[in-house]
């Protein structure tokens, strides 16, 4: 009951402080989540080319070699040891989404929220559920649970099998850092993950990964509504795309 009241109060604060968007921006995406989950692990786009479209986002690297975090115009790889490393512009990606992040509203983060409660509070922001929402959350986290996976070699298995067998999970404990998050609408189910997806990078840029769970501390959330999505398709892709159920299983494995 107390937790419920906390996130409801947080949602009300967000509603009071967030500014309804006067304009909407464009996101850029390379490939689709359904292609990636089906085994489309190799792309031709370099990190340098990706950054031409925006300096805030997330994705992965060829061979699904770790989790990609794009923050302040720099790209980091979160590896299976829970560490984060800056990567060269020549690195290749099979899937990523970025924006030239320009927030339209901000609000404080209430401490003690679970990931589910935080998502519910963010959903209460006055932005369209039919559009993409990009959020940046900076602060101190009571705990963050992240995962990554080792580089794969052909012949590639579907990502559901890779995550089930090989994902490595780390509990970071209390840590300062940034959550990079996107919420895609249900109409984009074959394009990207429906609902929320977060990657994390510590303030010292040494730890990170794909977020599986967390408990909020104190900090600030910045949000931007995005109406347009531009997609570049790789020259080669799997013969069939993954199902919505497979995408969900990869995003939040149980």
| Structural domains of the chain, ranges and CATH numbers in brackets | 2-251 (3.30.1330.80)
Q: Which DSSP symbol is given to 63?
A: G
Question: Which pLDDT band, with edges at 50, 70 and 90, does 19 fall under?
Answer: very low
Q: At 76, is the pLDDT very low, low, confident or very high (cuts 50, 70, 90)?
A: very high
pLDDT at 38: 94
Which pLDDT score is estimated for 237? 77
Burial, 248: exposed, middle or buried (Cβ in 10 Å; 0-12, 13-18, 19+)?
middle
* pLDDT higher than 50, residue 180: yes
Answer yes or no: are the C-beta atoms of 111 and 142 closer than 8 Å: yes
**Helices then strands, each counted (H, E), the chain:** 6, 14
Query: What does DSSP assign to residue 207?
Result: B
Secondary structure class of 140 (helix, strand, coil): strand
What is the dihedral sign for C-alpha 237, 93, 196, 85? positive
Q: Which two tokens stand for residue 43?
A: 């792309």
Average pLDDT rounded to a whole number, residues 120-135: 95
Rg (CA), the chain: 17
**Residue 133 phi, psi (nearest 5):** -120, 125
Crossing angle for the helix pair 115-123 and 2-17, nearest 10 degrees?
Answer: 40
Note the pLDDT of residue 102: 96
pLDDT at res. 254:
60
The pLDDT score that the predictor gives to residue 48 is: 98
With H, G, I as helix, E, B as strand and everything else as coil, classify residue 99.
Answer: strand
Flag whether pLDDT at 90 surpasses 50: yes
Determine the 3-state secondary structure of 15 from DSSP: helix
Reference 125, options 139, 115, 135; nearest CA is 135
Q: Which of 6, 1, 20, 27 is nearest to 228 (CA)?
A: 27
CB 102 within 8 A of CB 28: no
């Amino acid at each position: 009951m107390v937790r419920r009241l906390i996130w409801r109060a947080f949602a009300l604060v967000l509603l009071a402080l967030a500014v309804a968007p006067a304009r909407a921006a464009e996101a850029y995406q390379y490939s689709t989540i359904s292609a990636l989950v089906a085994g489309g692990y190799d792309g031709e786009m370099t990190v340098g080319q990706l950054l031409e479209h925006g300096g805030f986002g997330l994705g992965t690297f060829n061979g699904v070699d770790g989790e990609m975090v794009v923050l302040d115009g720099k790209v980091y790889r979160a590896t299976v040891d829970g560490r984060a490393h800056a990567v060269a512009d020549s690195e290749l990606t099979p899937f990523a989404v970025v924006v030239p992040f320009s927030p339209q509203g901000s609000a404080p983060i209430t401490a003690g929220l679970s990931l589910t409660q935080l998502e519910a509070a963010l959903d209460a922001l006055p932005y369209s559920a039919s559009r993409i929402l990009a959020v940046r959350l900076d602060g101190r986290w009571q705990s963050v649970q992240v995962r990554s996976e080792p580089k794969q070699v052909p012949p590639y298995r579907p990502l559901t099998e890779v995550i089930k067998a090989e994902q490595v999970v780390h509990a970071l404990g209390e840590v300062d850092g940034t959550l990079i998050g996107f919420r895609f609408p249900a109409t984009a189910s074959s394009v990207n993950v429906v609902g929320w997806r977060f990657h994390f990078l510590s303030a010292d840029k040494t730890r990170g990964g794909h977020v599986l769970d967390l408990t909020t501390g104190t900090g600030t959330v910045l949000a931007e509504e995005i109406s347009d999505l531009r997609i570049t398709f790789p020259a080669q892709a799997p013969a069939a795309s993954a199902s919505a159920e497979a995408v969900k299983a990869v995003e939040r494995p149980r």
